[in-house]
Amino acid sequence: MPDWLWDHGGEGFAHVYRVEEVLLDTTSPYQRVRIVRTPMFGRMLILDDAVQTSEADEFCYHEMLAHLPLVTHPAPKRVLIIGGGDGGLLEEVLKHPVERVVMVEIDRAVVDATLQWIPQIPGRAFEDLRTELRIEDGFTYVRACAERFDVALVDSTDPQGPSVPLFGAAFYGDLHRILGEDGVLAVQSGSPLYQQDLVTEVRRNLRHHFPVVRTYLACVPSYPGVLWTFTLASKHHDPNVLSPEQVDRKIAGLGLKCYTGLHHVASLNPPPFLREVLEA
Ligand code: SAM
């Protein structure tokens, strides 16, 4: 294992981490799964050659993917998570008074690796009685799904291998079918700096099925370029109508470290140099 881990972003650009210890290095039927210890970000989950999450900044990603869509829905009770094997997103969702969370992760090795080496990320979310963990392909699960949900969250790897269909219009159409009339969906949609084509494609594919499509920004220090995007799609509720005060009332007492009412508004209003790609 080289002393330095390179997580490549766009052309000629990468984030580089000094690796103090390799805690796990295994290959599952789907991907290479590594847990490494670094000085700045602590323990990190690496799938293939991409940083997925770290103990130091996981909340920056998981809070933004969980809470903005959950407060956009009037009263979410049934939530579907596709991917999210590290359990950090699940833990955030369970902070809300939801009744049931179905999480569909394709690779058991990711769940086991995080539970063993970075247990503070999922906490006890997998033991929660409201949680149903299914180890299967999210695309085929949603296609055959008879259950209905209020909110769906897609926390997938970037589009390669099994995650490619999770960015397609067909998948978003299937999700639209299993979301209730107040349904809200949010997906990780890549870097606004070096994956602009992906952001545009995700927005286009979501607009085939949903009238409200909003891309919002997050800062995830351990991701190349730090800036990241999520894209919300909704059957009619628009996160832009929520005031900072209304958001703060909805998240009061959840003990969040990143997402706030003011951050809600700021994340949905990109700076001019990004407006074109995030609002096209
Ligand atoms: N935050 C990370 C990111 O933005 O790159 C994603 C974290 S999470 C660990 C990604 C998860 O998606 C992985 O555990 C991977 O196994 C899972 N995944 C990929 N394709 C999938 C599929 N078709 N169905 C279900 N889970 C899938």
**pLDDT at residue 224 greater than cutoff 80:** yes
What pLDDT is attached to residue 93?
98
Active-site annotation holds for 137: no
Indicate the pLDDT class of residue 2, thresholds 50, 70 and 90.
low
**Mean pLDDT of the 56-84 span:** 98
**Mean pLDDT of the 38-55 span:** 97
**pLDDT at residue 43 greater than cutoff 60:** yes
* Ligand 1 pocket by Cβ (under 6 Å): 30, 52-53, 61, 82-86, 104-107, 110, 137-139, 155-158, 162-163, 166, 188
Atom from ligand 1 closest to the CA of residue 45: 9
**In the chain, pLDDT over 90 holds for what percent of residues?**
97
Instruction: List Cα–Cα distances, 68 to 45, 187, 203, 262, in angstroms.
Output: 24, 11, 17, 12
Given CA atoms 24, 101, 133, 32 in this order, what sign does their dihedral have? negative
Q: Which of 32, 156, 198 to mutate to test the pocket of ligand 1 (most atoms within 8 A of CB)?
A: 156
Q: Which of 44, 163, 187, 230 to mutate to test the pocket of ligand 1 (most atoms within 8 A of CB)?
A: 163
C-alpha 85 – ligand 1 centre gap (Å): 6
C-alpha 272 – ligand 1 centre gap (Å): 31
Q: Compute the mean pLDDT over every residue in the chain, rounded to the nearest whole number.
A: 97
Q: What is the pTM of this model?
A: 0.98
pLDDT digits (tens, 9 = 90+) for 124-179: 999 999 999 999 999 999 999 999 999 999 999 999 999 999 999 999 999 999 99
